[in-house]
């Protein structure tokens, strides 16, 4: 378990002054790495053993306002191992009050072959806390095909999207979901984000984006035309901004 305080910077917020989902994800990602470092599972060590963690699901809910210059404290811990998944939880506080939380699912893969490595073969002493907390439920299937679906366009994966695993970084997915939003994001704020990461996307892959808008949320179904396989699904819930 590890916790750390962060100051929200000017580049972490949207035009409405509220923190971007992707900004929180970046702080969360870094803290998870530092937690792994504490028991020897540094990225360098893991790559030497041809293994890396990749995220498969995230549910992130923001229950209070987080703005530029706010100081937040993020706490993270590997809560349990379920099948092939390492379930990592996050709690985010502002002024000692819980203002956001996230549940994330990770798998260990062989870096070269991109196939899953079972947790029993993880060579580092990771601790599972098995805390009784209100995890955020992430459905196996997010995209609701019963709604009014439309094609929102295509988006090419560019070099600045990539991370050390040489694929589209998980924080970029939520930005894509915002970029293709069917709502006016100057009038509405995202308070909950669910993403299923189905298959990775690589440099120059072309992503084909379909959208369904609901009453209080919208869904994306993103297909990788280049690799000819699904890429990710997402649902973002929104509320109207205060006047």
Look at residue 176 and tell me whether its pLDDT is greater than 80: yes
| Cβ-Cβ contacts under 8 Å for 196 (sequence gap 6 or more) | 56, 57, 138, 139, 140, 141, 142, 232, 233, 234
User: What is the pLDDT confidence band of residue 241, given thresholds at 50, 70 and 90?
Assistant: confident
Q: Where are the beta strands (DSSP E) in the chain?
A: 2-7, 51-62, 71-82, 85-94, 97-110, 116-117, 149-156, 188-197, 206-213, 217-224, 229-240
User: H helices of 39-190, where?
Assistant: 43-48, 170-179
DSSP string, 191-224: EEEEEEE-S---TT-EEEEEEEE-SSEEEEEEEE
Average pLDDT over residues 148-177: 95
Question: In the prediction, which pLDDT does 180 show?
Answer: 96
Residue 165 has, within 13 A of its CA and on its CB side, a CA count of: 20
> Do the domains spanning 1-120 and 140-243 agree at the CATH topology level?
yes
CA of 124: how far to CAs of 37, 80, 97, in Å? 10, 15, 33
Reported as a single tens digit per residue, the pLDDT across 198-229 is 999 999 999 999 999 988 999 999 999 999 99
Fold of 1-120: Thiol Ester Dehydrase; Chain A (3.10.129)
The bridge status of strand 229-240 relative to strand 206-213 is unpaired
Look at residue 93 and tell me whether its pLDDT is greater than 60: yes
Q: Which CATH class for the 140-243 domain?
A: alpha beta
Question: In the prediction, which pLDDT does 133 show?
Answer: 83
Average pLDDT over residues 50-59: 95
Question: In the prediction, which pLDDT does 148 show?
Answer: 80
Look at residue 86 and tell me whether its pLDDT is greater than 90: yes
Look at residue 138 and tell me whether its pLDDT is greater than 80: yes
Question: In the prediction, which pLDDT does 140 show?
Answer: 85
Question: In the prediction, which pLDDT does 146 show?
Answer: 60
Look at residue 240 and tell me whether its pLDDT is greater than 60: yes
Domain boundaries in the chain? 1-120, 140-243
Average pLDDT over residues 160-167: 95
Q: Hey, which residues does 229 pair with through a beta bridge? A: 224
């Amino acid at each position: 378990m590890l916790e750390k305080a962060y100051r929200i910077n000017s580049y972490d917020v949207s035009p409405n002054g509220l923190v971007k989902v992707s900004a929180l994800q970046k702080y969360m990602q870094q803290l998870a790495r530092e937690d792994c470092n504490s028991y020897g599972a540094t990225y360098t060590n893991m790559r030497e053993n041809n293994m890396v963690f990749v995220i498969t699901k995230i549910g992130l809910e923001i229950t209070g306002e987080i703005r530029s210059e706010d100081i937040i404290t993020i706490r993270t811990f590997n809560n349990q191992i379920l099948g092939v998944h390492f379930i990592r939880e996050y709690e985010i506080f502002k002024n000692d009050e819980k203002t956001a939380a996230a549940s994330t699912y990770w798998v260990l893969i062989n870096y070269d072959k991109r196939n899953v490595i079972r947790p029993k073969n993880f060579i580092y002493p990771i601790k599972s806390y098995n805390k009784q907390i209100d995890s955020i439920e992430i459905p196996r299937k997010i995209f609701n095909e019963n709604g009014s679906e439309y094609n929102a366009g295509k988006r090419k994966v560019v070099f600045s999207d990539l991370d050390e695993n040489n694929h589209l970084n998980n924080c970029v997915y939520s930005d894509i979901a915002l970029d293709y939003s069917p709502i006016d994001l100057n009038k509405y704020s995202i308070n909950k984000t669910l993403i299923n990461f189905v298959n990775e996307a690589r440099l120059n892959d072309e992503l084909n984006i379909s959208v369904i808008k609901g009453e209080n949320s919208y869904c994306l179904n993103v297909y990788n035309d280049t690799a000819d396989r699904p890429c990710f699904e997402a649902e973002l819930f929104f509320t109207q901004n205060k006047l």
